[in-house]
Amino acid sequence: MSSFSYFTLIFFCFSSLIAISHAINNAFSVELIHRDSVKSPFYDPTQTKIQQLLNDVRRSINRANYIKKVLSSNINKFESSLIYDNGLYMMSYSVGTPPFKVYGFIDTGSGLTWIQCKPCNICYNQTSLTFNPSKSSSYQNIPCSSLTCKSMKDYACSNDGEKCEYTMNYNPGSKTQGDLSVETLTLDFTSGYVVSFPKIIIGCGHTNTLAFDYNGQSSGIIGLGKGNMSMINQLGSLIDGKFSHCLAVNEYYKMFNLSSKLNFGDVAVVSGDNVVSTPFDKNKDHYYLSLEAFSVGNKRIKFGGFKGFNSSYNIIIDSGTPLTLLPGKYYDRLESTVIEVVELERFQDPTSSYRLCYNTTSSQHPKFPVITAHFNGADVKLDINSAFMSIYEGIKCFAFIPTIDAFNIFGSATQVNYLVGYDLKKNIVSFKPTNCSKF
């Protein structure tokens, strides 16, 4: 292992991925599971819908505040900005040889995939079994002397000077720390194939602390960000820098039982009729888009000129934030416009989490205006069930919330029933209206 180098890693990755690419024709999909789905290890039949609503709002605000903190302080920029509790969509996969099943939250803001590992110095209470790297014949630590380790912006050597160690700090008192390693990851494709990807760089966390109550069925996170160590860049030429997701609508007053999809490579290409595309800022770690305005019907409300933004790229598109967060003054203008247009009886959310809700049973033919997000070069007409979320039967709430001095985020709720594709070579995000429950 002492002779392991960055170039050796690249060689193994390249040769292995060429072989795999021929086997799966550069295109594959995996199932995504909403954390509140009956298919999820997080599913809690005793949790009320009120609790789910509060959790979505809390996760959205916490994540926005933390992303701002990370970006403004320049902390661990290659790493994840995820607050661990905030994961919304997860996928199951296996790690090691023989394959060991784990669950990970996907995150488009993350630069590293990591899992909790034995031996645990300090670990959160993971209710599923914890991965033991000593039981895997394919596990290898990355040495501190390697270029892979030194290419990280933040790294440390183990006490014996041999192993490369990573540390990822989240909100105060929460972090994951462990060994940077290479390991085999195995995915179950929706096509029925099971394929292993060798020599993938992951973090093997031995010290994992969380500063809040946490239900620990998840083993860690899956990084889909732009960093060199993200899953997207490690799969490299196999997927040609392309991935997409299609998030299905799950009504809050019903059980979450629909699955969504995460696509890679050729099958991730967003093409055909009604496709619109917008560039993202290639110089930033997150996927920053340029939002020019929102429209409510034919009434356009210009967006921009906010404190903290020195470019036209002014909003982050994010898979881990449930709701769309906008600056308070701008949100007020948007909300006022919606109120002017919607002719339905208002409903007071008992949790005070959502400021604008309507009783759709008050009208025989309830109508909502078309909400359009006007990005640079792309007008995205939001699905009615994403702009207005069903929180109870007959009750819909505006899926936007105001923030005070926080980063603007285009959340996952407003992305449902769209095939959203990322192309890291062209530096664009594409949108296509799609019935994701049948995709």
- Report domain extents, the chain: 6-48+82-246, 268-433
- Apex CA 275: angle with CA 271 and CA 276, to 5°? 130
List the one residue out of 416, 395, 291 whose CA is nearest residue 348: 395
pLDDT over 60 at 416, yes or no: yes
107 is catalytic: yes
Q: Which of 56, 85, 318, 383 is catalytic?
A: 318
**Strand 428-433 and strand 409-410: pairing?**
unpaired
pLDDT of residue 364: 85
Are 6-48+82-246 and 268-433 equal in CATH topology?
Answer: yes
Those residues whose C-beta lies under 8 Å from the C-beta of residue 427, and which sit 6 or more positions away, are: 279, 280, 282
Determine the Cα–Cα distance for residues 178 and 249; give it in Å rounded to an integer: 37
The answer to whether residues 145 and 155 touch, using CB atoms and an 8 Å cutoff, is no
pLDDT over 70 at 324, yes or no: yes
* Model confidence, pTM: 0.84
Tell the CATH topology of 6-48+82-246: Cathepsin D, subunit A; domain 1 (2.40.70)
Per-residue pLDDT tens over the stretch 218-232: 788 898 988 888 999
The dihedrals phi and psi of 405, each to the nearest 5 degrees, come to: 55, 45
pLDDT of residue 337: 97
| CATH 1.10.600.10 is the classification of domain 268-433 | no
Number of Cβ within a 10 Å radius of residue 161: 9
pLDDT band with cut points at 50, 70 and 90 for residue 8: very low
Per-residue pLDDT tens over the stretch 49-77: 655 555 666 555 566 655 555 555 443 33
332 is catalytic: no
pLDDT of residue 55: 61
Please name every residue paired with 339 in a beta bridge, in sequence order, or none if there are none. Answer: none
Q: Which segments within 252-323 are labelled E, that is strand? A: 260-265, 276-279, 288-289, 291-296, 299-302, 315-317
pLDDT over 90 at 37, yes or no: no
Please name every residue paired with 352 in a beta bridge, in sequence order, or none if there are none. Answer: none
Q: Which of 107, 179, 285, 423 is catalytic?
A: 107
